[in-house]
Structure 1
Amino acid sequence: MFGSSGKHQRLPSTSNEAGRISLGNQNVAAVQPNVERTVSYTNSKSDTAYDLEPQDRHSLDSITSGFSYNRISTGGEAVEETTTGHVRLRDLDADEHSSFDAERSRERSELSPTQRTDSLSEELPHTSGASMISSFFNLTNAIVGAGLIGLPYATRQAGIIIGPILVVIVALLVDWTLRLLAFNSKLSGQQSYQGLVEYCFGRTGLLANSFFQGAMAGGGMASFIVVVGDTLPHVLTALMPGIAESGFGGVIFSRRFVVAFFVICMAYPLSLYRDVGKLGKTSAFAVVAMCTIITSVVVEGPRIDPALHADPGTPVELVNTGVFQAIGIITFAFVCHHNSFMIYGSLRKPTLNRYFEVIHISTGISTIVSLVIAIVGYVYFRDKTQGNILNNFPQDNLLINIARFLFALNMIATFPMETLVAREVIDQLFFRDKEFSMRRHVLITTALCAGSLIVGETVCNLGVLLELTGGLSASFLAFILPPACYIQLSSGRRFTWKTLPHWLCICFGFTVMVLSTVLSIRHAASSKESVGSCWG
């Protein structure tokens, strides 16, 4: 994090390895074994100095540029040449306990950007101390939420060739930009997405980020409710057909009642948690549910009534015209940037090395399961593929009903993570200088859950909801802001070969955001299932 301008904050090291790294305008010097050593560099944009302990030697070559540095070993022998415009910050993850000081975040928010400074290896006191396994479950659950069952529909939109390619491309971009966000937060000293964007772009950036982040979280909450409404009534009716046929059963098994009951009695209490680390067990269950869904679709697809499949003469579309709508759905499925800061901060030892490992494993597994359900689900139903692939199966299929039930519980378990994000956006915008209030916490949580419940009860076309939320908000949060913040934080010229990937990612994000949103609105306007049919 940023240190005070003109000053260095040093972190001691007892390592026997000799050497000193000097970056930017700092003098190159060597130190002897068994003495304290630091890494120093200067960000020319803010004229701010930073100190780090070089230990873990973690390379961030793929995401860092814009700084200059020298590195020498004991005795002054240069081991790496000075490089202008690019820095290999191998030592950013030096301290096992490096992260952000949560207790000082309020004080820092009241300071100017040049005053809002900390050591990059400052330790964060944790309340949750989540393990890497728990963080893996949280991140995987955040990635493959409601968007998972919409991926066959995305493949229908883009085609059997383009669809899987888009899944891989989006997954790679998400992996890269998640790591880029963590690196940006280290440089800026911010522990939230809003704080990072405000640091880089001021109040205007904060407002823009809050809008898109709030829309993403709200869209996620609403889509989870739509999934619950699509699944649980079918399950309950299949389990208790006698009750379902009675007048009383017709009420309690209706979509409106079931959704309201499960949101109020299960999702809402979980949403009152303030610590994402405590949701690790529910996220572990959600990942198990995800595996069950994949298995049920693969196994039951060939066994259901052939009349539910695509007509025998219907071809498998290799390339289709709905590429940008498909990108919106896939982006929604993978994007978890808006709650990645909470997952990162909940790690017991939140170093970049550990967090990057969590990111790689989570995105890798999510990509595999996404490809399986996207391809298999589309091949089975082709032009009949619905926005929720489980709706393509009959109501009385036992294995599919188990998958429906587990996926509904998955959504209920994931719902609180989106609520945490939406609540944080509101707190940062309107109550950042106020002490925590349990009354305010409960009121905001209640309002968020009630609002999403209304939307989820009214809109029941999951595909359209995923397209709109993914195209508008997810693209901005995942593909535009992370590289833009990095370019803003880095020193040197902004337009160089080293920053070309960042600019290409920004252009890709804007293209997807505009085209996907426009096309999705047109689709929603022409769709008979977008609004109103949920009330029958």
Structure 2
Amino acid sequence: MRQAGFVVGLAMVIVLALLVDWTLRVLAVNSKLSGRQTYQDMVEYCFGRWGLLASSFFQGAMAGGGMASFIVIVGDTLPHVLGALMPSVGQSAFGRVVFSRRFVIAFFVVFMAYPLSLYRDVGKLGKTSAFAVVAMCTIIAAVVMEGPRINPSLRASPEKSLQLANTGVFQAVGVITFAFVCHHNSFMIYGSLRKPTLNRYFEVIHLSTAIATVASVTIAVFGYVYFGEKTQGNILNNFPQDNFLINIARFLFALNMITTFPMETLVAREVIESLAFRDQEFSMKRHVWITTGLCAAGLAIGETVCNLGVLLELTGGMSASFLAFILPSACFIKLSSSSTPLYSRKLVGHWLCIVFGVTVMLLSTVLSIRHAARAGSGPDAAASCWR
């Protein structure tokens, strides 16, 4: 919302949520039409080997970007919480090491996220998803309640009015798309239903998208109203370290990310398995090695990059746009080509969706890379944690 402006940002969240809801349903219909049960298999059925390689690359990039982003969030939140809970320990030499960003990230990834990532079935993560919803509600409540109570110097300047429209529209589209896109693991979700029918799956899509939209709009509106141009990529970083309720929110946010991390690991691992080992039987040794390598790579990126906004923009602009807006409609057009002319009225919406996806993908990626290269220390500045 800071990048796009209040009115434009609000409209974009709602429009993109509706578009994601629609393309998720298109993807489910494509699965039925093609008779394929995974995203990669469906794309390969439609576009052959090159389609498989393209979808695998963007699925892997989306999952990898998600894993790295979740690790950055852990680094943004838990050191603050530990320092506030045990200030005397934090000021000691031992505390400065143990409570440091890099140590905290490594500890929680190795001892929490990594064991959960070893699960093969996404259904095993159902309880962690329920926890994520509860944590999300708590985080939103904390931001809404504590925003007016903090030092006025940390909030938006009362002399400056909120921007109704701003210039960072395409970067904002990347962030919003990243927030909503789950196409790369939607087949896993469908397969985890007790009774996997299209109608039941559509209900899941509608309910999930509605919850995500309400949550996104609420925290975007209140966060931007409170902090204006000072709004950071992680809204909790706008609050002081010693705020009790915000520290609870930070702790829950970190746990939420740690338990969401395995969802992305499952996707990345499936991409590697389908590309390199699709004709081989399952091997537990290979499963462990792939999982370990993925977690180590995500950890390395998360330890190096501090700017959450840059990761969300790049991942959302490049990968999420391709997976959510281009591929579902392209596959539907291909699957319908035998019975429907390519330029019939029935397919107009799909062609428009592809054009929108390509535009967002190109502009958002270019602008995000330029944004990441920008020097400085403000909320828009890319930053390395190795300093």
Report the TM range for the smaller structure's normalisation. over 0.9
Q: Is the 8 A contact 1:314 1:383 kept in 2?
A: no
Q: Is the 8 A contact 1:458 1:531 kept in 2?
A: no
Q: Matched residues, percent identical? A: 76
1:534 paired with 2:381, answer no
1:252 paired with 2:103, answer no
Residue type at the aligned position of 1:345? G
Q: Choose the corresponding residue for 1:525, options 362, 373, 379.
A: 373
Residue type at the aligned position of 1:295? A
Deviation sequence 1:374-425 (CA, Å, 0-9, x none):
1110111001000110000000000000000000000001000000000000
Which residue in the other structure is 2:356 paired with?
508
SS at 1:194 equivalent? helix
* Paired residues for 1:231-242 under 5 Å: 231-242=77-88
Q: Choose the corresponding residue for 2:340, options 477, 489, 492.
A: 492
Which residue in the other structure is 2:184 paired with?
338
Residue type at the aligned position of 2:84? A
Higher RCO, Cα 8 Å, sep 6+: 2
Residues 264 and 414 (structure 1), Cα distance of their counterparts in 2 relative to 1, 3 Å cut: same
Distance 2:115 2:227 in 1: 38
SS at 1:498 equivalent? helix
Residue type at the aligned position of 1:494? L
Residue type at the aligned position of 1:522? R
Residue type at the aligned position of 2:274? Q
**Which of the pair is proportionally richer in helix?**
2
Which residue in the other structure is 1:186 paired with?
32
SS at 2:135 equivalent? helix
Distance 2:384 2:277 in 1: 39
SS at 1:443 equivalent? helix
TM-score for the superposition, normalised by structure 2: 0.98
Distance 2:383 2:163 in 1: 31
Q: Is the 8 A contact 1:217 1:422 kept in 2?
A: yes
SS at 1:456 equivalent? helix
Distance 1:315 1:533 in 2: 32
Distance 1:342 1:174 in 2: 17
Q: CA deviation at 1:532?
A: 5.3
Distance 2:133 2:317 in 1: 25
Distance 2:104 2:386 in 1: 13
Residue type at the aligned position of 1:495? Y
Which residue in the other structure is 1:451 paired with?
297
Distance 1:410 1:272 in 2: 17
Residue type at the aligned position of 1:439? K
Distance 1:240 1:346 in 2: 41
SS at 1:312 equivalent? coil
Q: Choose the corresponding residue for 2:240, options 379, 383, 394.
A: 394
1:461 paired with 2:312, answer no
Q: Is the 8 A contact 2:231 2:238 kept in 1?
A: yes
**Which of the pair is proportionally richer in strand?**
1
Distance 2:295 2:382 in 1: 20
Q: Choose the corresponding residue for 1:290, options 136, 143, 164.
A: 136
Q: CA deviation at 1:250?
A: 0.5
Distance 2:318 2:130 in 1: 29
Which residue in the other structure is 1:145 paired with?
none
Distance 2:65 2:160 in 1: 33
Which residue in the other structure is 2:174 paired with?
328
1:200 paired with 2:46, answer yes
1:225 paired with 2:71, answer yes
Distance 1:317 1:237 in 2: 35
Q: CA deviation at 1:531?
A: 5.7
Distance 1:359 1:407 in 2: 23
Q: Where does structure 1 lack aligned partners over 5 or more consecutive residues?
A: 1-154
Provide the aligned C-alpha RMSD in A.
0.9
Q: CA deviation at 1:533?
A: 3.7
Which residue in the other structure is 1:210 paired with?
56
SS at 1:161 equivalent? helix
Q: Which has the larger radius of gyration?
A: 1
Q: CA deviation at 1:473?
A: 0.2
Q: Larger deviation: 422-431 or 489-498?
A: 489-498
Q: Choose the corresponding residue for 1:266, options 112, 124, 131.
A: 112
Which residue in the other structure is 1:11 paired with?
none
Q: Where does structure 2 lack aligned partners over 5 or more consecutive residues?
A: none
Q: CA deviation at 1:311?
A: 1.9
Q: CA deviation at 1:365?
A: 1.1
Q: Is the 8 A contact 1:256 1:535 kept in 2?
A: no
Residue type at the aligned position of 2:160? T
Q: Is the 8 A contact 1:212 1:477 kept in 2?
A: yes
Q: CA deviation at 1:528?
A: 3.8
Residue type at the aligned position of 1:279? L
Residue type at the aligned position of 2:101? R
Q: Is the 8 A contact 2:371 2:382 kept in 1?
A: no
Residues 270 and 502 (structure 1), Cα distance of their counterparts in 2 relative to 1, 3 Å cut: same
Which residue in the other structure is 1:383 paired with?
229
Residue type at the aligned position of 2:373? A
Q: Is the 8 A contact 2:373 2:382 kept in 1?
A: no
Residue type at the aligned position of 1:496? S
Q: CA deviation at 1:369?
A: 1.0
Q: Is the 8 A contact 1:423 1:444 kept in 2?
A: yes
* Paired residues for 1:155-170 under 5 Å: 155-170=1-16
SS at 1:534 equivalent? coil
Q: CA deviation at 1:527?
A: 4.1
Distance 1:447 1:183 in 2: 34
Distance 2:150 2:375 in 1: 27
Deviation sequence 1:113-143 (CA, Å, 0-9, x none):
xxxxxxxxxxxxxxxxxxxxxxxxxxxxxxx
Residue type at the aligned position of 1:292? T
Q: Is the 8 A contact 1:289 1:403 kept in 2?
A: yes
After the TM superposition, which segments of 4 or more aligned residues of structure 1 sit over 3 Å from their partners?
A: 527-533
Residue type at the aligned position of 1:386? Q
Which residue in the other structure is 1:410 paired with?
256
Which residue in the other structure is 2:162 paired with?
316
SS at 1:315 equivalent? coil
